[in-house]
Amino acid sequence: MKNAVAILAALALSSAVVFADDRQHADHSKNDQRKQQAFEQHDENKDGKISKEEASTNMVLTEDWYEVDANEDGSVDITEFSRFEPSEKHSSGDSHMQKSHKHKDAGSDADD
């Protein structure tokens, strides 16, 4: 009986691990698809790479160009683009924008 319980517990645990792995794989695939779509949108001339000019329409790519262009060849291919993770300064809070608003608010308080 103890063996049966142990076997059932092991099966349940392995099923949970497989389910979690499948879910993680699905999330990873969706992320890859989003990156592929974003790359294709920025690659305006469809030559398989993003030039510095093509990247100029995207603040994150422009500000982090030398990090994104890992091999420093002047363009970003899909591999470089896929490996790039924007830094925290580009989080949805956009801290540099918040700081500039705080300056404006602080300046307007001084005028009152």
CATH code, domain with 80? 1.10.238.10
- Structurally, the chain folds into a number of domains equal to 1
Contact 75, 49 (CB under 8 A): yes
Rounded to the nearest 5°, which phi and psi values hold at 62?
-65, -50
Contact 61, 53 (CB under 8 A): no
Q: Which residue has the tokens 């099966």?
A: 11
For 63-96, the pLDDT digits (tens) are 999 999 999 999 999 999 999 988 776 665 443 3
| Rounded distance between C-alpha atoms, residue 90 and residue 96, angstroms | 9
Q: Could you tell me if residue 30 is inside a domain? A: no
Structure token pair of residue 84: 């790039």
* pTM of the predicted protein model: 0.57
Instruction: Pick the more confident residue, 70 or 20.
Output: 70
Q: Could you tell me if residue 107 is inside a domain? A: no
